[in-house]
């Protein structure tokens, strides 16, 4: 047996034998160092040869590869075959495979490993930055935070704004046995925003005001930073009751303001950070008290604050506006007149006050102290000729004001030789003309007019007079017949 092994070891291995000695596992997993040829060991007694062969086969592959090789490939040499037949006492001499252990964690990284495992936050101060991120000092150790992890949405601020500031971070990973520690600020930001949003929700329910700093002002309102990464919008209509003007005239960037949360928008059933605010909700409502000082029929003085297609808005008191409808402008005037420009002061009369509807109707035409229809003057009878002032010209007639609150219609068909365009030139608003009252309808408050000198073909007044005469005549006849009967002898 010994001679055979000595002879086999003494002869140089052939190419076929060399190919057989490399197992499939060695061919796939061995590194160049592991597969480098070694010098042939000197001839030793049989026992040492068996141990060396066993060590050579089992020590080089890793644990899993060696196990797979032993299960798939039978021994290919006599030495390996005899090694497999050794008793247990010799098998115990086999060297177990070695597993490379990870290097020990640096002592300075132990607190970060504990924070990573427990998911606890750590405090850190930004001391510098480079193209990839920021250098953070935490627990006396310099760590690193990528720029994309400093804010949510991958939109960090300019790097200089972070330097020398202390923030809350979470440990993302520990590399190189603690020599490289990576932090992230995103979980801390999410937690801070959640706490801030919960506080804002609670204040909304209790109608408690929130405070913040104005970050930007636009044409439609102002954005306010409420803290915790939460922002809200004060729409231009919600800035103030007592002041009017553009948002930029009322608020400035950096100004501290207080407001009431009116709405927190929801998206897919979840609360978002889009918040609507109202500053004027904290001001006294002028419609509850101030509006009571205005009554219909009295005069007013106010400033034009804005124009619309249907009239002028006039500020009567801080936070209290009235409307002058286009139909209540002075006769012959339009909103484009210079005296109605924004900022100009105007005078007129109060037509109606409705606090519940938050409405005050104004007029720049004189308002009668009493209702002219309830006590229609004796001069206004059918057939009477009166003077009036043209209010406006429409396609179906000319409206003529006889006195404040009393307007009649002169039909276009009654204007001889004048179509619509000619009538507008001949009867321009503000012109004083003479007309004849053709009809009076007290129930519908309508006056029918006609050109002066017109021949009225039977008016309602004439008919009423005729009916009255008929009644009087018939009454006298009946009384005369009764009297004559009494005078007859019995």
Question: How far is the C-alpha of 130 from the C-alpha of 146, rounded, in Å?
Answer: 9
Domains 190-282 and 385-461 share a fold: yes
At a CB cut-off of 8 Å and minimum separation 6, what does 287 contact?
A: 320, 355, 358
Tracing tokens 């930029």 back to the chain, one arrives at 248
Token pair of 459, please? 């008016």
At residue 340, the pLDDT reads 92
The pLDDT tens digits along the chain (490 residues) read: 433 334 333 444 444 443 333 333 333 333 333 333 333 344 443 433 333 333 333 334 443 443 334 434 444 444 443 444 444 444 444 555 555 566 788 888 999 999 999 999 999 999 999 999 999 999 899 999 999 899 887 667 889 999 999 999 999 999 988 889 999 999 999 998 889 888 998 988 888 999 999 999 999 999 999 988 888 999 998 998 877 778 999 999 999 999 999 988 876 655 456 899 999 988 888 888 788 888 888 899 999 988 998 899 999 988 889 999 988 888 878 888 999 999 899 999 998 898 888 899 999 987 776 778 877 777 788 888 889 888 888 888 888 888 888 888 988 888 866 565 677 777 888 888 899 988 888 888 888 898 887 776 555 555 566 566 656 655 555 556 666 666 666 5
Asked if 349 and 297 touch (Cβ cutoff 8 Å), the reply is yes
For the chain, the residue count is 490
286-363: CATH superfamily: Nucleic acid-binding proteins (2.40.50.140)
Structure confidence at residue 361 (pLDDT): 92
**What is 107-184's CATH topology?**
OB fold (Dihydrolipoamide Acetyltransferase, E2P) (2.40.50)
- For the record, the structure tokens of 183 come out as 């932090």
Q: Name the architecture of domain 385-461.
A: Beta Barrel (2.40)
Residue 270 confidence (pLDDT): 55
Domain spans of the chain, in order of start? 2-91, 107-184, 190-282, 286-363, 385-461
Residue 159: other Cβ atoms inside 10 A:
16
Task: Report residue 47 as tokens.
Answer: 């026992």
pLDDT of residue 328: 87
Q: What is the CATH number of domain 190-282?
A: 2.40.50.140
């Amino acid at each position: 047996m010994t001679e055979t092994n000595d002879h086999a070891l003494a002869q140089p291995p052939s190419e076929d034998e060399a190919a057989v000695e490399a197992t499939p596992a060695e061919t796939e997993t061995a590194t160049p160092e592991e597969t480098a040829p070694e010098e042939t060991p000197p001839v030793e007694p049989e026992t040492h040869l068996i141990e060396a062969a066993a060590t050579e086969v089992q020590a080089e592959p890793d644990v899993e590869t060696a196990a797979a090789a032993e299960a798939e490939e039978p021994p290919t040499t006599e030495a390996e075959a005899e090694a497999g037949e050794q008793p247990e006492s010799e098998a115990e001499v086999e060297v177990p495979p070695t597993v490379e252990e990870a290097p020990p964690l640096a002592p300075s990284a132990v607190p970060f490993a504990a924070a990573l495992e427990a998911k606890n936050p750590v405090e850190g101060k930004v001391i510098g930055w480079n193209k990839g991120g920021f250098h953070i000092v935490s627990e006396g150790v310099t760590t690193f935070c990528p720029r994309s992890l400093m804010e949510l949405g991958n939109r960090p601020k300019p790097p200089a704004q972070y330097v020398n500031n202390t923030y809350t971070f979470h440990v993302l990973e520990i590399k190189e046995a603690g020599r490289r520690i990576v932090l992230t600020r995103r979980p801390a930001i999410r937690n801070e925003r959640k706490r801030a949003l919960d506080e804002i929700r609670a204040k909304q329910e209790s109608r408690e005001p929130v405070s913040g700093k104005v970050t930007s002002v636009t044409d439609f309102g102002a954005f306010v930073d409420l803290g915790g990464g939460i922002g809200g919008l004060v729409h231009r209509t919600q800035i103030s009751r007592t002041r009017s003007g553009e948002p930029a005239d009322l608020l400035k960037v950096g100004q501290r303001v207080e407001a009431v949360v009116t709405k927190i928008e929801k998206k897919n059933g979840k609360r978002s950070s889009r918040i609507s605010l109202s500053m004027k909700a904290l001001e006294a409502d002028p419609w509850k008290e101030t509006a009571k000082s205005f009554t219909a029929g009295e005069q007013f003085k106010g400033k034009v604050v804005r124009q619309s297609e249907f009239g002028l808005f006039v500020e009567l008191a801080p936070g209290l506006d009235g409307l002058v409808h286009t139909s209540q402008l002075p006769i012959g005037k339009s909103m484009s007149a210079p005296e109605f420009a924004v900022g100009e002061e105007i005078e007129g009369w109060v037509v109606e006050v409705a606090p519940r509807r938050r409405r005050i109707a104004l007029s720049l035409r004189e308002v009668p102290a009493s209702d002219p229809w309830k006590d229609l003057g004796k001069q206004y009878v059918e057939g009477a000729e009166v003077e009036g002032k043209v209010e406006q010209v429409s396609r179906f007639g000319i409206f003529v004001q006889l006195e404040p609150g009393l307007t009649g219609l002169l039909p276009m068909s009654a204007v001889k030789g004048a179509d619509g365009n000619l009538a507008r030139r001949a009867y321009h608003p503000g012109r004083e003309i003479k007309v004849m009252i053709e009809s009076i309808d007290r129930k519908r408050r309508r006056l029918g007019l006609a050109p002066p000198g017109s021949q009225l073909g039977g008016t309602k007044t004439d008919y009423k007079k005729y009916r009255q005469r008929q009644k009087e005549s018939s009454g006298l006849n009946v009384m005369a017949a009764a009297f004559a009967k009494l005078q007859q002898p019995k």
